[in-house]
Amino acid sequence: MKHILTIGMVLFVLSSSTTAQSADLPQYKPLFNGKDLSGWVNVNTDKDTWYVKDGMLVCTGHPIGVMRTDKQYENFLLHIEWMHMEAGGNSGVFAWSEGTVPEGRRLPKGMEIQMLELDWVNQHKQKDGSLPPIAYVHGELFGANGLITTPDNPRGSRSKSIENRCKGKGQWNVYDVVCVDGVVKLSVNGKFVNGVRNASIKKGYLCLESEGAEIQFRNIQIMELPPGITTQKQTAPLLK
């Protein structure tokens, strides 16, 4: 039970002090302003991979790579809404990322929160011809390129969602992510379904992933929470 953490619990702790003034409490702030890419840095994609249309952040999916926030985050709540436009589309968001891509790779070291469209399982059958379980296709959590975690619902080193709550292409999905002191809890469309703990990196950049298919994002907001005891070894290198 000690690893269970929800948005409600976090907010309760933050608001329980009778001496705290409302102006001092953490508030959600936009990470995407709906107008341009202010606050984001292209890492290894083309200049036209990401663009804004009708208040939406659109990713073409080509080439494979990421863009990152211009600052690092440690403890926070992330709200992000996303919609795949192609069957079997692949994307995700990275937390606590180094914000750079190792030589020979296209994606960074970081904590990946997977976003796969429902038809992905039909397009990626297992060697025996069977389909991967549907819960794998969204909300899987795992450390990428060297970040290590302990999964709540193990599938090897990854943690799988215990219930499929994802909607298919052309429909909006909502992720609410709690990232606190190396613990990640993920809510998909209003219900917590996955988590990891003991992340080896606990402070870094947020990255959005381009991985072969068009995806749109909207209403990306973050609430920064008080810092913890995070060592330099647990912090991603600071980029200019």
Residue 10 pLDDT = 58
The bridge status of strand 50-53 relative to strand 154-155 is unpaired
Measure Cα distances from 189 to 46, 103, 171, 235 in Å: 31, 36, 11, 30
Enumerate residues 6+ apart whose C-beta is below 8 A from 22.
none
For the chain, state the CA radius of gyration. Answer: 17
Residue 81 pLDDT = 98
pLDDT of 125 higher than 80: yes
Going by pLDDT thresholds of 50, 70 and 90, the confidence category of residue 6 is low
pLDDT of 2 higher than 50: no
Please state which of the ranges 8-17, 115-124, 184-193, 231-240 shows the lowest mean pLDDT: 8-17
pLDDT of 123 higher than 50: yes
Q: For the chain, what is the mean pLDDT? A: 91
Whole-angstrom distance, CA of residue 118 vs CA of residue 188: 14
Mean pLDDT across 30-38:
98
Per-residue pLDDT tens digits for 73-104: 999 999 999 999 999 999 999 999 999 998 88
Per-residue pLDDT tens digits for 139-167: 899 999 999 999 999 999 999 999 999 99
Whole-angstrom distance, CA of residue 217 vs CA of residue 133: 26
Q: Answer yes or no: are the C-beta atoms of 13 and 192 closer than 8 Å.
A: no
Residue 21 pLDDT = 58
Query: Hey, which residues does 77 pair with through a beta bridge?
Result: 178, 223
Please state which of the ranges 7-16, 26-35, 213-222 shows the lowest mean pLDDT: 7-16
Per-residue pLDDT tens digits for 188-237: 999 999 999 999 999 999 999 999 999 999 999 999 999 999 999 999 99
Residue 104 pLDDT = 87
Going by pLDDT thresholds of 50, 70 and 90, the confidence category of residue 1 is very low
Mean pLDDT across 7-17:
55
Measure Cα distances from 171 to 23, 214, 215, 221, 229 in Å: 36, 13, 11, 19, 39
Cα 93 to its chain centre, rounded Å, is 3
CA angle 219/225/229 to nearest 5° reads 140
Residue 8 pLDDT = 57
**Helix or strand or coil: residue 134?**
helix
Going by pLDDT thresholds of 50, 70 and 90, the confidence category of residue 185 is very high
Residue 193 pLDDT = 96
